[in-house]
Amino acid sequence: MTASNNDNSFSLRCFVWGDDPLKPFTVRVSPDLDVQEFLLEVKRTYESLRDDKLAHVTLYRIEAAREELANLDAPSRGSPNKLAFMDPLRVYWPEPQEISWDRVQVLVQADIIRTCVPSSTVHTEKRELNNPTEDDQNRELIERFRKSRASYCNALTRCSASAAAKPNEFLRQQQGQNYMLNGRPRQHTGPPLVLYHPVFGNFLSNLQSSDPLCPQFYEHIFGYLWDSQKVYEDEVENGQASDRDASGLEQLLGKLLKSGVAPDAVATASDGGYCLIVEMKNEIGTGGSDPSIQAAQSYSRVWQTSRLLDRCCCPTILIAIAGPWMCILGAVFLDRPVIQPLTDYLWVGINPSKPQEIHYVARVFHCILEARRELETYYDDLTSKDINNFPAQPFIFPHPTHFIDGNGQQVKFTYVMPLDIPSPDVVSQLKRSESQITPNKPIYVAKLRNSGLPIVVKFVESYNSDAHRLLAREGLAPALLYDGTAHANDQLGPNHHMIVMEHVNGVDLGHYVGPILPPCVSANIEHALSLLHDADIVFGDLRPPNIMLVKDGDGTITGAKLIDFDWCGKHRVGR
């Protein structure tokens, strides 16, 4: 592929990741064209050749033969090959005459919006809540959940927990369809555990408590610390170490049960339900696996056969121990297990350089004890209920189902479905497991129980409710119905809050497919930004997905509203 004799323009072959590998396409460019303009040309060229649209487009420089396209790995957002908007193309292709005509130079990562199929199949689009296909979508969601969970559970019979925790076997699992969501690798990270059961938020909040612990508890702590610092020669003695550790843990946490080959110890409620799961290694590196991964594998297998699996999200505290090191994790079982650390790996011993750490270690053990008691109560209550009274919908939604309105009244709601869940088509294009139904973001469509009014429920780490209310008063943002950041005693944990707002009849700009937008859209956006700037507020995440195009009853676009105030902040103050 060489430059034209008449000008300095040249051609770049482009390929949309996940698309048909036989259909790369060519875009004619000039060296001085910047990447932002090139991106628009890529979209225009692709959409002129297909009936589909591209959204959320990112470009990467590659060098790949056509036969390699089907097996390309997912590009990383932090990849050094990512094209920067302001750069001219000559930065990336300084010698156009050396470009190979039989290879692809640009990898396009984007959501492919299928416009040749009914819009009801595009789950990433934010539709009207009263769409006739809503019930079908909900049934599809439930069916996908059940199939995914069944597929995961069936795969567990392949090997034991200890074998599954070995690095090579764990890598095989995480590269396949039946991976767990434990953050290994990064794209296999699940939603925050605090959304699914209060025990995790309580654990994290209790860690920050300064309430004194009883002296007797400290006596047991010191005894356990001294034992944990002992050194054992090899894994042969690990049984002795496990027995010693279990004995010391029982003084702190209550009776633990030996569970055969895996896990090393468990604590259960009186009528079923796993409250604690413990995995122990003699030292870091002994046993050939990470005890936190083995604890996760044990969690999957003990719950697989539990009669409570279909009644709850199976919340459990995991304790991973390697010699004098310990990590506490939480786990829930959605369509697949979600495992997340609640603490770092802790030195469970005496440290002369940080003598005050003993108080934090003691606090961690006390939090485990409190979590065990909370889960025992939860599971005992769960098993006392008639199974016929359980909802038909699986436990795929967060546990909060009410908020306090401006009059101090409790308002109950029912979740309908995640707002940002990929459809099977989109999932396939992104090369994720087609069975995974975990939402990309913790944002949900719901309905008020008393009126059926549609609402949006989202869970955030931070939120600028002042900015939201400022624009809502002018009709430039959805009405804010509940601000969890203002309710210190009604939070999911120390780092998460619930936000409830009205549901907007429309579609976000990132998923808009249609004619040129009316002037009222840009006018509304400019007015909204002007109001925020006058209040010395910066809207830190102004992107197409955060601009809602408002539609009237006939589907005509009548304006725009800003959403997502997570990154709003005072100028020179917010971070």
Look at residue 528 in the predicted model and tell me its pLDDT: 96
Look at residue 435 in the predicted model and tell me its pLDDT: 41
- For range 246-262, the mean pLDDT: 69
SS3 374: helix
Last residue of a domain, one of 84, 116, 148: 116
pLDDT digits (tens, 9 = 90+) for 286-344: 778 899 999 999 999 999 999 899 889 999 999 999 989 999 999 999 999 999 999 99
Are residues 15 and 104 part of one domain? yes
Are residues 416 and 273 part of one domain? no
Last residue of a domain, one of 63, 93, 116: 116
Residue 125 has a CB neighbour count (10 Å cut-off) of 17
Look at residue 391 in the predicted model and tell me its pLDDT: 60
| Residue-number span of the structural domain to which 94 is assigned | 10-116
| Nearest 10 degrees: Cα torsion 533, 539, 542, 545 | -130
Residue 155 has a CB neighbour count (10 Å cut-off) of 18
Are residues 176 and 300 part of one domain? yes
- Assess if residue 130 is contained within a domain: no
Task: Tell me how long the chain is.
Answer: 575
pLDDT digits (tens, 9 = 90+) for 214-235: 888 888 888 788 777 777 665 5
- Cis bond before residue 263 (omega within 30° of 0): yes
Distance CA 295, CA 280 (A): 9
Helix or strand run (H / E) with residue 425: helix 424-429
Distance CA 156, CA 301 (A): 7
Are residues 431 and 353 part of one domain? no
Q: What value does the mean pLDDT of the chain take?
A: 84
Residue 238 above 50 pLDDT? no
- For range 183-202, the mean pLDDT: 94
Are residues 380 and 407 part of one domain? no
Last residue of a domain, one of 388, 414, 432: 388
Confidence of residue 553 (pLDDT cuts 50, 70, 90): confident
- Assess if residue 312 is contained within a domain: yes
SS3 322: strand
Look at residue 333 in the predicted model and tell me its pLDDT: 96
Distances (CA, A) of 149 to 51, 337, 393: 35, 9, 14
- Assess if residue 144 is contained within a domain: no
Are residues 201 and 243 part of one domain? yes
Are residues 309 and 421 part of one domain? no
Which tokens belong to 49?
Answer: 């050749």
- Assess if residue 129 is contained within a domain: no
Are residues 43 and 87 part of one domain? yes
- Assess if residue 255 is contained within a domain: yes
Are residues 286 and 169 part of one domain? yes
Are residues 248 and 270 part of one domain? yes
pLDDT digits (tens, 9 = 90+) for 54-99: 888 899 999 998 888 877 877 776 788 999 988 999 999 999 998 9
pLDDT digits (tens, 9 = 90+) for 459-490: 999 999 999 999 999 999 999 999 999 988 88
Are residues 103 and 232 part of one domain? no
Look at residue 20 in the predicted model and tell me its pLDDT: 79
pLDDT digits (tens, 9 = 90+) for 26-40: 999 999 999 999 999
- Assess if residue 575 is contained within a domain: no
For 135-177, the DSSP string reads HHHHHHHHHHHHHHHHHHHHHGGGS-HHHHTSHHHHHHHHHSS
pLDDT digits (tens, 9 = 90+) for 130-148: 444 566 777 778 888 888 8
Query: Which CATH number does the domain housing residue 58 bear?
Result: 3.10.20
For 534-567, the DSSP string reads HTTEEETT--GGGEEEEE-TTS-EEEEEE---TT
- Assess if residue 208 is contained within a domain: yes
Are residues 410 and 380 part of one domain? no
Residue 189 has a CB neighbour count (10 Å cut-off) of 14
pTM: 0.73
- For range 241-261, the mean pLDDT: 66
Burial (0-12, 13-18, 19+ Cβ within 10 Å), 295: buried
Confidence of residue 420 (pLDDT cuts 50, 70, 90): low
Sign of the CA dihedral running 559, 564, 567, 572: positive
The total of structural domains in the chain comes to 3
- Assess if residue 397 is contained within a domain: no
Distances (CA, A) of 575 to 45, 247, 250, 568: 39, 47, 44, 9
